[in-house]
Amino acid sequence: MMSERSGRFRAIVIGSRFRPAIDVKTVLDRYNGVITEIVTGGSTGADAASRAWAADHGVSCKIIEPDWRHDGASAILNRNTELIDDGAELCLAFPMHDSTGTKDLIEKAINAGIPTTVVDSPEEIKRSTHERTIDVMPQDDQLISMTSKHIARKYQKALDELAHL
pLDDT category of residue 20 using cuts at 50, 70 and 90: confident
pLDDT category of residue 156 using cuts at 50, 70 and 90: low
- As a whole number, the mean pLDDT across the chain is 79
Q: Give pLDDT, residue 93.
A: 92
pLDDT category of residue 68 using cuts at 50, 70 and 90: very high
Mean pLDDT of 70-97: 92
Mean pLDDT of 7-15: 91
- How does pLDDT run across 107-152, given as a tens digit for each residue? 999 999 999 999 876 555 444 444 444 443 333 444 444 445 555 5
Mind spelling out the 3-state secondary structure of the chain?
A: CCCCCCCCCEEEEEECCCCCHHHHHHHHHCCCCCCCEEEECCCCCHHHHHHHHHHHCCCEEEECCCCHHHHHHHHHHHHHHHHHHCCCCEEEEECCCCCHHHHHHHHHHHHCCCCEEECCCHHHCEEECCCCEEECCCCCHHHHHHHHHHHHHHCHHHHHHHHCC
